[in-house]
Amino acid sequence: MVPLPTKTPLTGLQAEQFRHRLDQQATAALKQLPGLDLLVRAVLGPIAEQFFYLDNISTSVLVGPVQLPDLHTLLVEACQVLDLAVPQLYVRQHPVPNAYTFAMRGKQPFIVVHTALLELLNPAEIQAVLGHELGHLKCDHGVYLTLANVLALAASQLPGGEIWAQGLQGQLMEWVRCAEFTCDRAALLATQDARVVASVLMKLAGGSPSLSPQLNLDAFLAQARAYETANDTPLGEAVQQLRSPSLTHPLPVLRAKEIDRWSQGRQYQSLLQQEGIRYTDQVPIKGGWRNW
Give pLDDT, residue 166. 54
CB neighbour class for 96 (10 Å; exposed up to 12, middle 13-18, buried from 19) = exposed
Q: What is the pTM of this model?
A: 0.83
Which three-class secondary structure state does DSSP give residue 119? helix
Q: Where are the domains of the chain?
A: 15-291
User: Where do runs of H (alpha helix) occur along the chain?
Assistant: 21-31, 36-39, 45-59, 69-82, 115-120, 123-138, 142-157, 161-191, 194-206, 217-231, 234-243, 252-263, 266-272
Residue 118 predicted with pLDDT over 80 = yes
| Least confidently predicted of 143-152, 189-198, 235-244 | 235-244
CA distance 61 to 1: 20
At how many degrees (to 10) do helices 252-263 and 217-231 cross?
A: 100
As a whole-number percent, the residues of the chain with pLDDT over 70 amount to 72
Residue numbers annotated as active site: 133
Confidence of residue 178 (pLDDT cuts 50, 70, 90): confident
Range 257-285 average pLDDT: 74
Integer Cα distance of 98 and 112 in angstroms? 8
* Mean pLDDT for all residues in the chain: 80
117: closest CA among 157, 140, 144, 89? 89
pLDDT tier at 28, thresholds 50, 70, 90:
confident
